[in-house]
Amino acid sequence: VNFIGQGEKMTYCVGMKLEGGLILASDTRSNAGVDHISTYCKMHTFHRDGERKIFLLSAGNLATTQETISLLRQSVDRENSGHLLSLASLFECASVVGTHLRSVLEKYNHSKAGVDFSATFILAGQIKGEEPRLFLIYPEGNFIEATPETPFFQIGEAKYGKPIIDRVLEYNTPLKQALKCALISFDSTLRSNISVGMPLDVTCLEKDLCLSHDQIIRIHENDPYMKLLRFQWGEGLRSLFETIPDWDVDFQFNPRES
């Protein structure tokens, strides 16, 4: 199915939960139909200065993610019980996001239009008194939390950028190195899939320190560091490829031994 329609994957987001804190990154391309491709922020924030910093990264159907985020903001604005700025733990926040997401999807899933209305979220951040935490929230409303053995989640067009993370990321990777890893992962994705697009939004949430500052940086196409990274990684890969010896094998005289 090559048709890019409502609900098609046009996103890549990654969240990493490390010893020193969190790294989050998302692209900004989205669409609501083939003729409606635009830049949308997929990194949504819920802050209370000095007390909590919560990020929601979204992938999937744009209408679904927008409606879910709007419901979550409305709860905050109306000071409903149990909203993202009042709950005591990030675990409870994940549960609330899942509940809203499921309720939105239940409205539309009876449609026979063949549209995929589903959406997925990464929820990450820190509430004072807790460690930084990272959750992946499924369209069904349930969710999983990152652990030292599984220190990262990806949503959207995740496969192109997974091998490099699998190879270099560990729980004790320093934040700056993890950020570099995330950007290389984006570079691989951007090169292999035109539907994921610059600019990128990235943030680095250092444990405890993150509670008091706004930290999202938008990386544009011509960003000097991104250009350096893309060049050095691309050239480095080609050099590495050259250094690996070719296979000295003769296909004329090696019948299959199965």
Residues that bind a second copy (CB under 8 A): 41, 157, 159-164, 166-168, 176-177, 179-181, 183-184, 188-189, 191-192, 201, 203-204, 206, 209, 213-218, 225, 228-229, 232-234, 236-238, 240-241, 243-249, 251-258
Instruction: Quote the CA–CA distance of 148 and 169 in Å, as a whole number.
Output: 11
**Considering the complex, what minimum distance in angstroms separates the CB of residue 127 from a second copy?**
19
Token pair, residue 158, equals: 């995740």
Count CB neighbours of 3 within 10 A: 6
Q: Which residues contact 30 (CB under 8 A, 6 or more apart)?
A: 10, 11, 37, 38, 39, 40, 42, 62
Q: Which is nearer to a second copy, 94 or 202 (CB)?
A: 202
Token pair, residue 114, equals: 């063949």
109 DSSP 8-state letter: T
Residue 123 CA, chain-centre distance (Å), reads 9
Q: Which is nearer to a second copy, 11 or 188 (CB)?
A: 188
Please name the residue that has the structure tokens 């819920």: 46
**Considering the complex, what minimum distance in angstroms separates the CB of residue 147 from a second copy?**
18
CA angle 12/8/153 to nearest 5° reads 30
**Considering the complex, what minimum distance in angstroms separates the CB of residue 247 from a second copy?**
5
**Considering the complex, what minimum distance in angstroms separates the CB of residue 167 from a second copy?**
6
Q: Which is nearer to a second copy, 141 or 161 (CB)?
A: 161
**Considering the complex, what minimum distance in angstroms separates the CB of residue 197 from a second copy?**
15
42 contacts 64 by C-beta, under 8 angstroms: no
Q: Which is nearer to a second copy, 43 or 87 (CB)?
A: 43
Q: Which is nearer to a second copy, 92 or 233 (CB)?
A: 233
